[in-house]
Structure 1
């Protein structure tokens, strides 16, 4: 493992293809094949079947990570509610647009700001009414030697253990030696190009190393600043611990 880590550091420092600023576009979607189909299990409650149906009806969205050597900011494409139209014989009917759970799980209306110099991530959101900013410390990754090539970049697998024996998988490349990634996932020795979070997938689909947005990343300052624990208390922690 020590030899592997030294190799990663060497690649990160000396890679000729390394880029230290830019904009990454991710395609984010539910891995539908990994989720139980609604109404197949007769023991499921109506509420569970409705939730499963939301996952099956979800559509992919895009998320954007803008980064440089020290800071990054991530957000999801703006939510657009487009109603359904039905020009039937009874006249024009407008139906309420469906909620896309992919948009919510990808980050929703939140903004994720990562500052390596201060070793924390700030998440800015307004899901509980007033806008708040939540500080989170770096995540604890498990590095492995498993590798694969993504868009021409050699990537390595890192994981995080979750509840109920679930594992989050991230693929990062030392060839782009910045410790950033989408939605507050960061701290690895290379840019994260792909994440599989149990039933949810982030995949980089566009890498733009000439984006002028990377030269002017502004830290979110609106809203009270609180720790993750304070935020859970503020929300009532309806979903329990991570």
Structure 2
């Protein structure tokens, strides 16, 4: 396999001729870890129960994902292990933030579109919209991830996340506290040795496959890459589900989150009331 090294504006680009000379496909495995801080202080919950809740949240947010990709398309999905039956306990309550309960995340970089299949409390949605674009700034930093040389790029974006603390706080009166909006920095490491415009989850837009990416709470790191595997995977958009755009889905998710919080607090209030009777 021939590799050409080009210097463009001070950046080294590795152009692998065999990748351009044929239709190719790859499979990349990613380890995703998300840290969610849930404030349980001041709650009438035994310490061992608090620790169990925190451990369950931590475990639920350590996942393995698989990205199947070609030059134009990719499909990103969780590698679900059969030995994890407790993943969906708690009435459909999940704590994932950067992959969450998305079964499939399909990207078409030629068309600039994505389709993601989401299970929201038992109802399936197909979220179809334009790919989000980040204004990447290239940095001069390099390092190795496995055998690949990767380059650093950064971007900023404004995000709005559910505030998990309100779920456990019955006395929350300020509805704006249900969501936290802030500007965060995204740090990506990509490899021009795999010259495709792809990456895990919603990320893309760099001159090489993104092998590592992190925001304020989540890090996604590639642990294995298999180029041109013998068993090809058909990369196609997910189907079956209620079709909505991202804005509409966010509105529905916000409403469902509010309902879940109120139901949880009402249920807990009922238990506490029964416990107080003599």
Q: TM-score by structure 2 length?
A: 0.63
SS at match of 2:186: strand
State how 1:109-128 maps to structure 2 within 5 Å.
Answer: 109-128=102-121
Partner of 1:202: 220
Partner of 2:138: 144
Shift of 1:26: 0.8
Q: Does 1:130 align with 2:123?
A: yes
> How far apart, in 2, do the equivalents of 1:7 and 1:114 lie?
30
Structure 1: runs of 5+ lacking an equivalent = 84-95
Partner of 1:86: none
Seen in structure 2, the aligned counterparts of structure 1 residues 45 and 158 have a Cα distance that, compared at 3 Å, is farther
CA offsets, 1:67-108, max 9 Å, x none? Answer: 00110000002264446xxxxxxxxxxxx79x9967664343
The one of 156, 166, 182 aligned to 2:184: 166
SS at match of 1:182: coil
- Kindly report the root-mean-square deviation, in angstroms, between the aligned alpha carbons of the 2 structures: 3.7
> How far apart, in 2, do the equivalents of 1:62 and 1:151 lie?
17
CA contact (8 A) 1:64 1:75 kept: yes
Q: Does 1:180 align with 2:198?
A: yes
CA offsets, 1:126-151, max 9 Å, x none? Answer: 21543222124232132222222211
> How far apart, in 1, do the equivalents of 2:58 and 2:253 lie?
28
Shift of 1:15: 3.8
Seen in structure 2, the aligned counterparts of structure 1 residues 237 and 173 have a Cα distance that, compared at 3 Å, is farther
CA contact (8 A) 2:34 2:98 kept: no
Q: Does 1:74 align with 2:80?
A: no
Seen in structure 2, the aligned counterparts of structure 1 residues 167 and 61 have a Cα distance that, compared at 3 Å, is same
Count matched residues. Answer: 216
The one of 215, 233, 239 aligned to 1:221: 239
CA contact (8 A) 1:170 1:192 kept: yes
> How far apart, in 2, do the equivalents of 1:189 and 1:68 lie?
14
Partner of 1:87: none
> How far apart, in 1, do the equivalents of 2:8 and 2:256 lie?
39
**Greater Rg over alpha carbons, structure:** 2
CA contact (8 A) 1:156 1:172 kept: yes
Seen in structure 2, the aligned counterparts of structure 1 residues 82 and 215 have a Cα distance that, compared at 3 Å, is closer
Partner of 1:91: none
CA offsets, 1:110-138, max 9 Å, x none? Answer: 21001112111111112154322212423
